[in-house]
Amino acid sequence: MPAIVKTKPAYGAELVEVDIPKPGPGEVLIKVLATSICGTDLHIYEWNEWAQSRIKTPQIMGHEVAGEVVEVGPGVDTIQVGDYISAETHIVCGKCYACKHNRYHVCQNTKIFGVDMDGVFAEYAIVPAQNAWKNPKNMPPEYASLQEPLGNAVDTVLAGPIVGRSTFITGAGPLGLLGIAVAKAAGAYPVIVSEPSEFRRKLAKKVGADYVVNPFEEDPVKFVMDITDGAGVEVFLEFSGAPKALEQGLQAVTPGGRVSLLGLFPREVTFDVNNLVIFKALEVHGITGRHLWETWYTVSSLIQSGKLNLDPIITHKYNGFDKFEEAFELMRAGKTGKVVFFPHK
C-alpha cells in the first residue's frame, strides 16, 4: 500500500510502497477513510529542531484519522471488525501520578502515533484499541478525522464560561479556525479575531468571526477596546504562538476575565506579569492535548448538533496521496485551512 513516509532525516517526505501491517496484541487495523494534516506533521516534514530531536526515521507520518476496523489483534474486546473509529493520538500509561488522578492529558509517559511510532498517512494503519473512539456511522469521515484537533480547540474555548461572552482570538490558523467555530457554536459574542494573513482573515469571517483585524496594520488592542466600549473582552484565546499576540491579548482582556493559551511559543516570552495578569486578576489556563475522554464526547456531540461550521475550514481535499507534496507546500505557505486526504481514491 502507498504511505507518506519520513524516509530520512532531512526536509520533505516520500510516497513509498509498504506492507499492510498486522495488528499486535491490543491493537486494531483500520482502513483509513480520511486523514488530515496537523501542524505537527508539517514540522516533521520541514524537519525543524523539535522534529530532529524526537522523530526516528523511517516512519509513516500522520495522526488525525477516521477509519473502519478491518482486523483486531489478540486480546481486543472493546472494538470489533466493522466499527467506524477515530483515534486519540496520545497513548497514555495509566500508571503515573497524573494518570492516577484522571489527568490523562498530562500523562508524563505519553507516546504519540505518527510521532513516536508509525502513523496513519497510509491506506491502512494500526491504532491501539485503548485509543479508539467509536463514531456514529453517519458522521462524514472528514469531520470524524478533525475530532482530534477539535478536541484542542474545545478544551481552549470551553475551559470556562463562553455563552454570551465577548471573545478575542489571536491566530486563525487551522486550530484558531476550529476555535472560532467552537466559540460561535457555544454562543460567544462578539468573536473578534486578530490574524495577519488576509486569506485566513477571510476564512475566519466565513467560519463566523464577527470582526477581524490585521495586527500588522492596525492596533488590535484599540480595535477590541473600540468594539467593547473600552471594557475589553471577557475571554482571550491564544491560538497563534506569537509573543506579540499574547501580550496584546492580555491587554485586550477585561480585568477578572479568562484566558486560554494553546499556541506554542518559539522561545521564552517576556511580558509584564504584574500588570497584565496579577493586578488584572485573570484566570489563566494552559491547554495541552484533550481531556480523556470527556472532550471527545463534547466534540462528537457538537459535530452531531450540526452547529459547528466546519466546511469553510476544510479548504483542501485530496483523493489519494499522489499530490501530498503540493498539500504540504500549500500548508507551509499558510494558504490552507485543514487539508484532508482520502487514501482510497
Q: Which residue is nearest to Zn ion (CB)?
A: 107
Q: Is position 167 an interface residue for ligand NAD (rule: CB under 6 A)? A: no
Find the part of the chain contacting ligand NAD (CB under 6 A) among 69-77, 90-98, 138-146, 193-201. 193-201
Find the part of the chain contacting Zn ion (CB under 5 A) among 99-107, 122-130, 285-293, 297-305. 99-107
Burial of 35 (0-12, 13-18, 19+ CB in 10 A): buried
Q: Is 119 helix (H, G, I), strand (E, B) or coil?
A: coil
Q: Is position 93 an interface residue for Zn ion (rule: CB under 5 A)? A: yes
Q: Is position 99 an interface residue for Zn ion (rule: CB under 5 A)? A: yes
Find the part of the chain contacting ligand NAD (CB under 6 A) among 69-77, 188-196, 273-281, 317-325. 188-196
Find out whether 159 and 234 touch, Cβ atoms under 8 Å: no
- Can you tell me the distance from the alpha carbon of 324 to that of 21, in angstroms, rounded to the nearest whole number? 22
- Can you tell me the distance from the alpha carbon of 119 to that of 83, in angstroms, rounded to the nearest whole number? 19
Site string for ligand NAD, 236-275 (x = CB under 6 A): ---xxxx-xx----------------xxx-----------
Q: Is position 113 an interface residue for ligand NAD (rule: CB under 6 A)? A: no
Closer residue to ligand NAD, CB minimum distance, 23 or 167: 167
Site string for Zn ion, 210-229 (x = CB under 5 A): --------------------
User: Rounded to the nearest 10 degrees, how much is the dihedral formed by the CA atoms of 84, 90, 92, 98?
Assistant: -130
Q: Given candidates 26, 39, 190, 312, which one binds ligand NAD under the rule CB under 6 A? A: 39
Q: Given candidates 4, 107, 224, 310, which one binds Zn ion under the rule CB under 5 A? A: 107
C-alpha distances out from residue 311 to 113, 191, 215, Å: 26, 19, 26
Which letter does DSSP use for residue 25 in this model? T
Element (H, E) at 32: strand 27-36
Find the part of the chain contacting ligand NAD (CB under 6 A) among 92-100, 166-174, 250-258, 318-326. 166-174
Q: Is position 172 an interface residue for ligand NAD (rule: CB under 6 A)? A: yes
Catalytic (active-site) positions:
40, 43
* Cell numbers linked to 252: 485586550
Which letter does DSSP use for residue 310 in this model? -
Closer residue to ligand NAD, CB minimum distance, 69 or 147: 147
Nearest distance from C-beta of residue 124 to ligand NAD, angstroms: 26
Q: Are strands 111-112 and 191-194 parallel, antiparallel or unpaired?
A: unpaired
- Can you tell me the distance from the alpha carbon of 332 to that of 255, in angstroms, rounded to the nearest whole number? 37
CB-based contacts of 226: which residues, under 8 Å, 6+ apart? none
Q: How many CB atoms lie under 10 A from the CB of residue 226?
A: 11
Closer residue to Zn ion, CB minimum distance, 20 or 98: 98
* Cell numbers linked to 148: 482530534
**Subset of residues 196 to 225 that bind ligand NAD, contact rule: CB under 6 A:** 196-197, 200, 215
How many CA atoms lie within 13 Å of 42's alpha carbon, on the beta-carbon side? 18
Q: Which residues bind Zn ion (CB under 5 A)?
A: 92-93, 96, 99, 107, 109
Q: Which residues bind ligand NAD (CB under 6 A)?
A: 39, 152, 170-176, 194-197, 200, 215, 239-242, 244-245, 262-264, 287-289, 334
